[in-house]
Amino acid sequence: MQVYKACYKIIYKNKGQLLMYIGIFLLFAIFLSGIGSSQVSGFSETKCKIAVFNEDDGSAPADGLTEYLGGKAVIVEMEDDEEKLRDALFYRDIEYMLRIPAGFSDGLIAGKDVRIEKTTVPDSTSAVYLDMLVNKYINTYMLYAKNTGLEGDEIVRRIGEDLENETVVEMGDYGRKITTAENSAFYFNYLSYSMLSILILGLGAVILVFNKTDLKRRNLCSPVRLRSMNMQLISGCLSFAVLAWILLIVTSFILYSDFMLTVNGALMLLNSFVFTMAALSLSFLLANVMKSQNAVAAAANVFSLGTCFISGVFVPQELLVDDVLKIASFTPTYWYVRNNSLIAGLVNRSYENLLPIFMNMLIVLGFAAATLIIALVVIKQRRVSA
């Protein structure tokens, strides 16, 4: 058991770094869990965040329009401060801004070319949508004003009646997503980042020590059999990985307790465990290739950040370019992340829905086996050359 204990002594000496990654992860996790909002089932319109400054207060079309938009979008109360509004638009706190100029409705009736000032994210879908809503409302208002004898508030009331004619929207039942599941998918996606960092750093520390030439020679002279030594080393690494896994998943039971105790939650756990194995053998390979602690730290960052970025951990996979995803599919993280979203969206646990999930897990295990084999070849080579 000496070797096994030595592993943990080395890991304990590096606890600062490792705890930092756990800390970062927990911060992320708690932060993310706060974001999620509950969604009702069935279709609901997506509401853009807009700001409306009605300088033509008290006139029927301007007030009517503002009220109409209030139902179709979220009107963010904002101070009429140019700098704040610009910032808000840049960082998407609002996506659209309207300024109805004073005298707008009088000009409208008088047939002048009066315009509502809009500030948008150019060419965006939200701009197209809101342009459509605004123009439609004002055009309808003008339609009534021109073709009937009605005026002001009466027209607004009539338009209100017209607006009650809404289209029926049916949500096809092709796998409806549940929010806690989605949030926990985020949680597990982020887990891959911390897991990779922790395992590369931890294993790197341990294996570098055992690979030191002098130390290795001394160990080989010891009465402990090589086989037993290797077994202890391997079980040390394995148990460290399991320990890291337990540490990282524990919080999920607190944050998403209702989801984690379902079958989908169990699948999520299984998936993350499979990924842990892939991360473990990748770390094992890297640790055997790297020559110094500094190189290990660099590799830990490059590998964890790199794979996570291109595999859609930080940015959803749907937003990534296809070419990037193709490259990403050569990393286990990609399949792990895909699986997380599959599991999160899983409603009907039929054979055909479960099959791709297990296939992805098999792919991740395949990565684990492949990298392990490469690592063993590297070790063998080194032993021959040494």
Question: Hey, which residues between 21 and 60 contact other proteins (CB under 8 A)?
Answer: 24, 39, 43-46, 48
Q: 2-13 and 226-255 are packed helices; what angle lies between their axes, rounded to 10 degrees?
A: 50
Size of the site for other proteins (CB under 8 A): 84
Report the relative pairing of strands 49-54 and 96-100 from DSSP bridges.
parallel
Output the six-digit token pair for 149. Answer: 């004898």
302, 359, 369, 377: which one binds other proteins (CB under 8 A): 302
Site for other proteins, residues 132 to 151, rule: CB under 8 A: 132-136, 138-140, 142-144, 146-150
Of 6, 22, 26, 121, which lies in the binding site for other proteins, with binding defined by CB under 8 A? 121
Cβ proximity to other proteins: between 107 and 376 the closer is: 107
Residue 243 binds other proteins (CB under 8 A): no
Which residues, in sequence order, are bridge partners of residue 49? 74
Q: Which of 126, 184, 276, 341 binds other proteins (CB under 8 A)?
A: 126
Residues of span 265-294 touching other proteins by CB under 8 A: 294
Site for other proteins in 172-191 (CB under 8 A): 172, 174
Q: Is 329 in the site for other proteins (CB under 8 A)?
A: no
- Give me Rg for the CA atoms of the chain: 30
Minimal distance, residue 93 CB to other proteins, in Å = 5
Cβ pair 375, 285 in contact under 8 A: yes
CB closer to other proteins out of 163 and 354: 163
* Cα dihedral 227, 229, 235, 236 in deg (nearest 10): -160
CB 153 within 8 A of CB 60: yes
Residues 6+ apart with CB under 8 A from 368: 274, 277, 278, 280, 281, 282, 332
Nearer to other proteins, 158 or 216 (CB): 158
CA 125, CA 236: separation in Å to the nearest integer?
54
Which residue from 115, 212, 217, 349 is in contact with other proteins, where contact means CB under 8 A?
115
